[in-house]
Amino acid sequence: MNAKRFHPALSVTDQAPIQVSASAVAEVVSRLEAQFGERFSKTAAMRERFGKDESFHASVPPDAVVTPKSTEEVSQIVKLCAEHGVPVIPYGTGTALEGHVAALYGGISINMQEMNDVIEVHDEDLDVVVQPGVTRKQLNQYLHDRGLFFPIDPGADASIGGMTACRASGTNAVRYGTMRENVLALTVVLADGRVIKTSRRARKSAAGYDLTRLFVGSEGTLGVITEITLKLYGIPEAISSAVCTFPDLDSAVGTVINTIQYGVPVARIELLDEAQIDAINRYSKTDLAVAPTLFLEFHGSTQGVAEQAQVVQELAADAGGSNFQWTTNTEERNRLWQARHDAAYACKALRPDGEIWATDVCVPISQLAECIRETQRDIKESNLVAPIVGHVGDGNFHLVLLVDKEDPEENERAQQLHERMVMRALAMGGTCTGEHGIGYGKLDFLIAEHGEAVSVMRAIKQALDPDNIMNPGKILRV
């Protein structure tokens, strides 16, 4: 990546490279093995698995994997690692996309999957306290009979701990916000093993620095999250879905802008570009019009969702949209959204031998149509296959590059295209990642985006983790 050429000179330099001694690792490994027995592993297969997420980033295996069952055990593990200067990498479900769980400097992967209890549901307060290994689907199954749900849906059945650490977002964010808005409080094990609570269950507070938001999105680099308090919502009385085709990107995005300005509390609003629709037609044997298409979902009262759909239908028609279909019937809803649900598989099927490289940017919505259009032109000129799906209400879109990993020239073209897309988004007031995070795949883009503010991030990292043992090399370069 050449994004380094966009870097300003920063006041605070990178942390010193960490030196992990082999004897320190051996000592930690043997002590953890003695303490955790069957909940410890250093087999090649386990190490390989825990060093890899769902992305194209190769596995970088940790020295061992340990599976704690309590905050107290996590604290003991971190204290031991801190004593010996051995890195700690928290692991949720491994569904991250920027190499977040790779053990770049070796160390101990902490597998949070057995800390998977829903601890307390407070129906009246619309909140829940969970352990980090609870997955979002598990949580919603648990909540269903109480008439409650947790809306954040990044696609994968990620763990709540991982979603918190990576500031996850997804299709529902336009209405419900991201993890940033939906985490009320955290229990965190710090880099020296101390345990803190970042906040209380109160809906708001003006008491001191917002530590909750500091740990949300910190990707395991400041501490290990061991308990999460989340906001919940009542399952809406009615849900309706809609689909509409547009003559071009501007009319589709313009409809989104007008919908939001009108105050329609749309729950999901997804854009699929021509390449994505074409891929779905091939994969699902459908004959959808190959054109920019919006998929919408409305939550509310029966009367409310009907009103919302009607307003959007009128706005879409004004913009030249056609074939507007909507329904509240569950089966019909699933049929309407089938194409959206098939998008990932359809991408993969475009090139079964290719590697999927999913990346995302987010721009102010006024810039979205232009950003996508220029990216599409660039894809064509680069002779690459790369459909686009967007969480368009937020200005966030995903590029799914399909590349032959064995072809260095094609990889280079893909890298160049990617870099131009990110720098285009930054030039438009956007961010290098709306929801995937930095991991170690976007380190240079973080600096291109934030400039001197990265010095402040480094100062905080150094203050809270002076020996750089917490997931080193993620977010900030070592």
Residues 397-456 that bind a second copy (CB under 8 A): 425-426, 429-438, 442, 445-446, 449-456
Residue (17 or 429) nearer to a second copy, CB? 429
> Least distance (Å) from a second copy to the CB of residue 439?
10
Within 72-101, the residues that bind a second copy by CB under 8 A are none
Q: Which of residues 263-282 bind a second copy (CB under 8 A)?
A: 263, 265
Grouping H, G, I as helix, E, B as strand and the rest as coil, residue 320 is coil
Nearer to a second copy, 112 or 257 (CB): 257
**300 lies in the binding site for a second copy (CB under 8 A):** yes
Q: 62 or 437: whose CB is closer to a second copy?
A: 437
Name which of residues 321 to 360 contact a second copy (CB under 8 A): none
Geometric angle at alpha carbon 359, from 348 and 244, rounded to 5°: 70
Q: Considering only residues 187 through 246, tell me which ones interact with a second copy, judged by CB under 8 A.
A: 190, 194-211, 213-214, 216-218, 222, 233-234, 236-237
3-state DSSP of 334-356:
HHHHHHHHCHHHHHHHHCCCCEE
Q: Quote the least distance from Cβ 289 to a second copy, whole Å.
A: 26
Using the contact rule CB under 8 A, the part of the chain among 15-23, 63-71, 111-119, 253-261 near a second copy is 253-261
Roughly how many angstroms between the first and final C-alpha of the chain, as a whole number?
17
170-189: contacts with a second copy (CB under 8 A):
173, 177-178, 180-181
Closer residue to a second copy, CB minimum distance, 16 or 26: 16
Per CB under 8 A, 8 contacts a second copy: no
Residue 471 as a binder of a second copy (CB under 8 A): the answer is no
183-190 and 223-231 as β-strands: parallel, antiparallel, unpaired?
antiparallel
- What's the full length of the chain, in residues? 478
Distance CA 184, CA 212 (A): 7
Amino acid letter, residue 43:
T
Least spacing, CB of residue 360 vs a second copy, in Å:
8
Nearer to a second copy, 2 or 261 (CB): 261
Looking at 2, 21, 322, 366, which residue binds a second copy (CB under 8 A)? 366
Q: Which residues of 106-143 are buried (b: 16+ CB within 10 A; e: fewer)?
A: bbbbbbbbebbebeebeeeeebbbbbbbbbbebbbebb
Count of chain residues binding a second copy (CB under 8 A):
98
Q: At closest approach, how far in Å is the CB of 107 from a second copy?
A: 21
Provide the Cα torsion 202, 203, 209, 210; round to 10°.
Answer: 120
Taking CB under 8 A as the binding criterion, the range among 67-75, 136-144, 169-177, 380-388 that sits at the site for a second copy is 169-177
Q: What does the DSSP assignment read for 364-407? A: -GGGHHHHHHHHHHHHHHHT-B--EEEEGGGTEEEEEEEE-TT-
Binders of a second copy in range 34-73 (CB under 8 A): none
Q: How much of the chain is helix, strand and coil, in % rounded to 5?
A: 40, 20, 40
Look at the alpha carbons of 85, 86, 90, 94 in this order and tell me if their dihedral is positive or negative.
positive
Tell me the closest approach of the beta carbon of residue 451 to a second copy, in angstroms: 7
